[in-house]
Amino acid sequence: MIPPTWRYVWNNSADPRIVRAHTLADAAVTARPRVTLSWPDGEGLVLAYGGLPQGLTHVLPFLEQQRGTPSHRIRRGTTWTALVSGRAAPGADILSVGVLRDRVPERLPRHRLLLPFRVTLGVPVGPDPQEVLRRLSRKARQQHSRELRSHRRTLEVATGEKGFAFFYDDMHRPTMANRHGDSARSEDRESARVCLFQRGVLFFLRESDRRVAGMLCRLEGRTLVIRLAGVDQGSDQAYGSGTYLAMYVLILQWAAEHGLTRVDLSGCEPFLSKGIFQFKRKMHPEVVLPSNHFANKRLLLQVRRDTPSVRDFLAANPLLGFGPEQGFEAVYFHDDDRPPRLDLRWSCPGVQGHRLVDLDDFLAGLPGPSRRTSAVHPHLP
């Protein structure tokens, strides 16, 4: 069995030696890539994902969630040539391919976009705790101050094993199960205890002297990395009451008071429709490539068919692509019937601006709806 410390370092370390080794291992694992096709109950968008295996937990579940219907999958072997050309999934409307950076084609064909595989959101902090509040919008500041008093909110730093057990078993695990179900991803209990609790800080948010939420963080030099979170028994009520925002603000202020220089809010997939991106954007974080092995990974998004469901999906899910210079740009799709989702905001340090893409132009030349038949399912080739 791999020790939890080794496994954590392998998956999260920014050490250049570990990153290089991880990249070499990824290249070996994907020498014979596989592709997974995902289709919905009834009519609807057919998705496919191939390449780097991390996409089966970081990319495809999010795309399936945004499609909004129960999913059915099959997985099969393929080749890189077939993946990059799109031939690996002829029945898919949208094919996403996770690739190492050095496998990205020099020139992208039409109907394809190059995205970061993941992005990291981080907040620089200085010695003044009040600077944290100034990062928030006026409305968010007022809500935080008002609820801090009315709910009698305070921040607790816990040190005992009982505190860890309460957080992991009664907060984190129920929250992950309630919010993400089978697609939940996290650290196992022993890894969380050894690699986070023993090498970091466990915070609880107390309301009227009762623990209602917690966050388990790792200390890496003068950076505090927020890794795991949860609310008491996974309650939905906490998500609508400002509990998480209050906890983030108090932790950022704690970091400022204790001489830290940065709080890593962790990362997410490169889509503005990702709820965690929109929530953490309230703290005006910097958007950067991850410092670990994900820095060498890219996501090729290939649109293969022009259908109403494809247009609906692209318009509903603006994304973060690479800008013309260093940094990212927000990309919004639209047409005459689908206005750009500018309500999903992009403004953060590291995102240079936004671009509007007309779907009529982007999808020009692609085949439209067609009948797809299969002995397995009518939506597969």
Supply the mean pLDDT for the chain: 90
Buried b (16+ CB within 10 A) or exposed e, 218-227: bebeebbbbb
Are residues 229 and 315 both part of a single domain? no
DSSP string covering 207-265, please? ETTEEEEEEEEEEETTEEEEEEEEEGGG-SGGGGTTHHHHHHHHHHHHHHHTT--EEEE
Chain centroid, CA 54 distance in Å? 12
Are residues 88 and 115 both part of a single domain? yes
Confidence of residue 182 (pLDDT cuts 50, 70, 90): low
Tell me which residue has tokens 């801090």.
Answer: 148
Strand partners, 98: 51, 299
Please give the pLDDT value at position 268. 92
Are residues 102 and 161 both part of a single domain? no
Please give the pLDDT value at position 379. 46
Kindly state the average pLDDT of the residues 26-48: 92
Please give the pLDDT value at position 373. 41
CA pair distance 219, 199, nearest whole angstrom: 6
Are residues 94 and 34 both part of a single domain? yes
Kindly state the average pLDDT of the residues 49-74: 92
Number of domains composing the chain: 2
Tell me which residue has tokens 């007022």.
Answer: 142
Please give the pLDDT value at position 240. 64
In a domain, residue 371? The reply is: no
Strand partners, 100: 297
What pLDDT digit, counting tens, does each position of 206-234 carry? Answer: 999 899 999 999 999 999 999 999 999 88
Q: Which residue has the higher pLDDT, 58 or 338?
A: 338
Out of 260, 281, 303, a domain closes at 260
Reported pTM: 0.90
> Which CA distances in Å does 365 have to 107, 272, 359?
18, 27, 11
The closest alpha carbon to 61, from 75, 47, 51, 74, belongs to 47
In a domain, residue 125? The reply is: no
CA pair distance 339, 351, nearest whole angstrom: 21
Say whether pLDDT at 238 is over 80: no
Amino acid at 347: S
Say whether pLDDT at 262 is over 90: yes
Share of the chain above pLDDT 90, in %: 72
Please give the pLDDT value at position 376. 43
Q: Which residue has the higher pLDDT, 287 or 1?
A: 287
The closest alpha carbon to 295, from 55, 94, 87, 20, belongs to 20
Helix axes 243-257, 138-150, angle to 10 degrees: 90
Confidence of residue 107 (pLDDT cuts 50, 70, 90): confident
How many other C-beta atoms are found inside a 10 Å radius of the C-beta of residue 304? 20
Please give the pLDDT value at position 312. 97
Query: Where are the extended beta strands (E) located within 317-365?
Result: 319-322, 328-334, 351-358
Are residues 192 and 233 both part of a single domain? yes
22-26, 92-96, 179-183, 294-298, range with the lowest pLDDT = 179-183
Are residues 93 and 43 both part of a single domain? yes
In a domain, residue 177? The reply is: yes
Range of the domain at 173: 130-260
Please give the pLDDT value at position 239. 63
Say whether pLDDT at 105 is over 90: no
In a domain, residue 254? The reply is: yes
CATH assignment of the domain containing 188: 3.40.630.30
| Long-range interactions of 236-240: CB distance < 8 A, separation 24+ | 236/178, 238/212, 238/213
Say whether pLDDT at 378 is over 50: no
Listed ranges 38-42, 199-203, 231-235; the one with the highest mean pLDDT: 199-203
Please, are residues 76 and 34 in contact by the beta-carbon 8 Å criterion?
Answer: yes
Please give the pLDDT value at position 236. 77
Please give the pLDDT value at position 372. 47
In a domain, residue 71? The reply is: yes
In a domain, residue 379? The reply is: no
Are residues 144 and 256 both part of a single domain? yes
Are residues 136 and 109 both part of a single domain? no
Say whether pLDDT at 321 is over 50: yes
Please give the pLDDT value at position 241. 67
What pLDDT digit, counting tens, does each position of 326-377 carry? Answer: 789 999 999 999 999 999 999 999 999 999 999 999 999 999 875 444 434 4
CA end-to-end distance (rounded Å), the chain: 41
Say whether pLDDT at 1 is over 80: no
Are residues 190 and 307 both part of a single domain? no
Say whether pLDDT at 183 is over 80: no
Please give the pLDDT value at position 374. 42
Are residues 219 and 297 both part of a single domain? no
Please give the pLDDT value at position 42. 81
